[in-house]
């Protein structure tokens, strides 16, 4: 993984951007929602984001679908901190999806684990939306929360997780070294896959599943 040496002024997930929707917003503290991805991107795509001074939130598939989810769930974009579990970009690769190479380095993962907990302490989120399987693995396996490990330890795929209403959404989750900060945590398919019927459902059932996910998010946000 390559360390990030440039920060854009426009909108972009942290650590390449500030992770905040408004360009003049400088503080993550007080934002109710943490949006947690896996890592930012590959080195090639990151260079283009830096050149453009931000991500294209109107063309990028993740941003298009994520904005749609948050809008339908009635969550203001400026009430969110958009960040990643792994602090770096994929070096020398054009691949931007799938398991990050950062998972191969225990030392790097430990650094990211400590930094994630620092982000939680700083932001004090009341809801964490987990985008896709590998951020779930990060939260489950890296000793950030005994509750997440106990509930997600037997789960093997994001599909299995999101289909179980007793596991996909957990309330008041305590994290290590963050006393008094107990956000709700909800796992979801990565937004870039939102228009893909990965569950192989009928169109009616697929639409019901999408509507159910949005309602879960909306309901959690309403109680924080």
Note the pLDDT tens digit of each residue in 151-205: 999 999 988 898 899 999 999 999 999 999 999 999 998 888 776 656 666 777 7
Q: How far apart are CA 145 and CA 110, in angstroms?
A: 14
Indicate whether 65 pLDDT > 70: yes
State the average pLDDT over residues 121-149.
96
Q: Which secondary-structure segment (H or E) carries 187?
A: strand 184-188
Nearest CA to 135 among 40, 61, 65?
Answer: 40
Q: What percent of the chain has pLDDT over 70?
A: 97
Q: Among 3-17, 115-129, 201-215, which stretch is predicted with the lowest mean pLDDT?
A: 201-215
What's the rounded mean pLDDT across residues 25-29?
94
pLDDT for 196: 66
Mean pLDDT over each residue of the chain, to the nearest integer: 92
Domain ranges of the chain: 33-222
**pLDDT for position 97:** 83
Task: Give the residue, 207 or 162, on which the prediction is more confident.
Answer: 162
Alpha-carbon 112 to chain mean position: 14
Query: What CATH number should be reported for the domain whose range is 33-222?
Result: 3.40.470.10
State pLDDT tens for residues 79-90. 999 999 999 999
Alpha helix segments (H runs only) across the chain: 43-52, 61-72, 106-123, 133-141, 146-152, 158-162, 203-222
Q: Is the pLDDT of residue 39 over 90?
A: yes
pLDDT of residue 197: 58
Q: Are residues 135 and 38 in contact, defined by beta-carbon separation less than 8 angstroms? A: yes
pLDDT tier, 116 (very low <50, low <70, confident <90, very high otherwise): very high
Q: Is the pLDDT of residue 111 over 70?
A: yes
* DSSP summary character for residue 163: T
Whether residue 6 is predicted with pLDDT greater than 90 in this model: the reply is no
């Amino acid at each position: 993984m390559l360390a990030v040496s440039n920060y854009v002024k426009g909108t972009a997930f942290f650590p390449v951007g500030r992770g905040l929707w408004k360009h003049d917003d400088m503080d993550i503290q007080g934002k109710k929602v943490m949006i947690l991805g896996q890592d930012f991107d590959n080195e090639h795509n990151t260079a283009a984001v830096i050149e453009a001074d931000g991500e294209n939130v109107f063309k990028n598939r993740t941003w298009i679908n994520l904005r749609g989810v948050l809008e339908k769930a009635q969550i203001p974009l400026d009430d969110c901190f958009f960040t990643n579990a792994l602090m770096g970009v994929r070096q020398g690769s054009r691949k931007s999806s799938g398991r990050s190479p950062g998972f191969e380095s225990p030392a790097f993962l430990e650094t990211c684990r400590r930094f994630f907990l620092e982000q939680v302490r700083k932001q004090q989120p009341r809801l964490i939306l987990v985008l896709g399987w590998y951020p779930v693995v990060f939260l489950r396996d890296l000793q950030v929360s005994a509750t997440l490990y106990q509930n997600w330890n037997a789960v093997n795929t994001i599909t299995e997780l999101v289909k179980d209403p007793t596991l996909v959404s957990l309330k008041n989750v305590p994290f290590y070294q963050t006393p008094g900060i107990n956000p709700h945590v909800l796992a979801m398919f990565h937004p870039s896959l939102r228009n893909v019927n990965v569950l192989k459902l009928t169109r009616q059932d697929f639409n019901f599943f999408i509507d159910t996910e949005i309602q879960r998010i909306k309901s959690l946000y309403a109680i924080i």
